[in-house]
Amino acid sequence: MVTMKDIAKQLNISRCTVSNILNDKLEGKSYKKETIDLVLQTAKEMGYVSNSIAQSLKTGVTKTIAVVLPDFANPYYINIVKEIEQAAAEDDYNLIICIAEEKLEKENKILRMLRSKMVDGIIISPISYRKSLQNIQGMKVVCFDRKVEGKEIPYVVADNEEATRIITQMMLNEGVKRPLYIATSIDDYTIRYRVEGFKKALHENGLEFQEEQICYNIYNESQAYECLTGLVQDKGIFFDGIILSTNYVVYGIREAMIELGIDIPLAGFDNFAGSNLEKDRMLIAIWPEKEMARMAYKQLSRLIHNQAAESAILQHKLL
């Protein structure tokens, strides 16, 4: 491996001069442009690579942050990551993207790895509102989309309860009396509050909530299809409306509805492939993804610079 000492020897100049030029520490120095260009060109020709690990040990800064996602199939998370990456690039930060696959054990493993990598900060959508982020002492962390209860960790989330109450009410206004709610994990912070909003709307309209009105652990189109067909065909349980916590399973529901010969109102959350085609056939609530991403990054940046971060709750809009 080529070192600064090798470059200095090749050019017959001091190692200090080479170090200052390669590390861009030129303020207050009077190096000639020819010398700077020669050092940079020689370093390139000799294949010099800076030792960022050694530098980070000295400065305590790696210029690297991480985004930890529960899932990468959902376009919602992809759009958020794109926005965070752009914001990070503007501040010359590198981005590590990690996928926990909705598994708490994998999330914990990822966090241990990121600690060893000495990342400057982490933006995470935690798996569990009760069990995630138990061992993050000394780490700078901001939650987005989901948060963890009982911990003073800054977060940027959506008002899931109110948004679900509103879209459920709108569905009930169309004459629906017994809607089905398609959800992911019961341990998901987002799902917990969306379910509360769903129940609240039913209660406000004098409708009794039954446990069979929620189908948990639905993450893809196949599972959504099996959920609906299983309830109707196997259990003889019928519904007159469906609300989706994750809109990217909508085509599994559409397939099941065609097979079952039913046509009932649909509502759900987030943009997805085909949103423009579906917006006239279903009610779609979406979050300001760019605002959430930028705000989460801004709060992490404040933590990195030893400033106080603020939490925020964002409101939905209808497509």
Question: In which residue are the tokens 């959920």 written?
Answer: 227
The number of helix segments (H) and strand segments (E) in the chain equals 12, 12
- How much is the pLDDT for 253? 94
Run of H or E residues at 295: helix 289-304
Instruction: Tell me how many domains the chain contains.
Output: 3
Q: Please check whether residues 281 and 164 belong to one and the same domain.
A: yes
What residues in the chain have per-residue pLDDT under 50? Answer: none
Residue 34 identity? E
The count of other CB atoms within 10 Å of the CB of residue 276 is 10
DSSP per position, 237-276 = ---SEEEESSGGGHHHHHHHHHHHT----EEEES--TTHH
CA 222 to each of CA 13, 209, 248, 251, 290: distance values in angstroms, whole numbers, following the listed order: 67, 26, 11, 9, 30
Q: Which pTM does this prediction carry? A: 0.78
CB 48 within 8 A of CB 54: no
Q: Please check whether residues 226 and 111 belong to one and the same domain.
A: no
Q: Which residues pair with 97 in a beta bridge?
A: 67
Residue 37 backbone phi and psi in degrees, to 5: -65, -40
- How much is the pLDDT for 60? 61
| Distance separating alpha carbons of residues 69 and 72, to the nearest angstrom | 7
The closest alpha carbon to 269, from 173, 176, 162, belongs to 162
53 burial (CB, 10 Å; 0-12 / 13-18 / 19+) is exposed
Residue 294 backbone phi and psi in degrees, to 5: -65, -40
CB 132 within 8 A of CB 148: yes
Q: Please check whether residues 42 and 70 belong to one and the same domain.
A: no
Run of H or E residues at 182: strand 179-182
Q: Please check whether residues 273 and 173 belong to one and the same domain.
A: yes
Q: Please check whether residues 282 and 293 belong to one and the same domain.
A: no
Q: Please check whether residues 281 and 302 belong to one and the same domain.
A: no
- Provide the token pair at 299: 């709060």
- How much is the pLDDT for 166? 95
130 burial (CB, 10 Å; 0-12 / 13-18 / 19+) is middle
| Domain span holding position 8 | 4-50
Q: Please check whether residues 118 and 177 belong to one and the same domain.
A: no
- How much is the pLDDT for 52? 57
- Provide the token pair at 94: 């590198």
- List, for residues 121-180, the tens digit of each pLDDT value: 999 999 999 999 998 989 999 999 999 988 889 999 999 999 999 999 999 999 999 999
What CATH code is carried by the domain that includes residue 298? Answer: 3.40.50.2300
What CATH code is carried by the domain that includes residue 26? Answer: 1.10.260
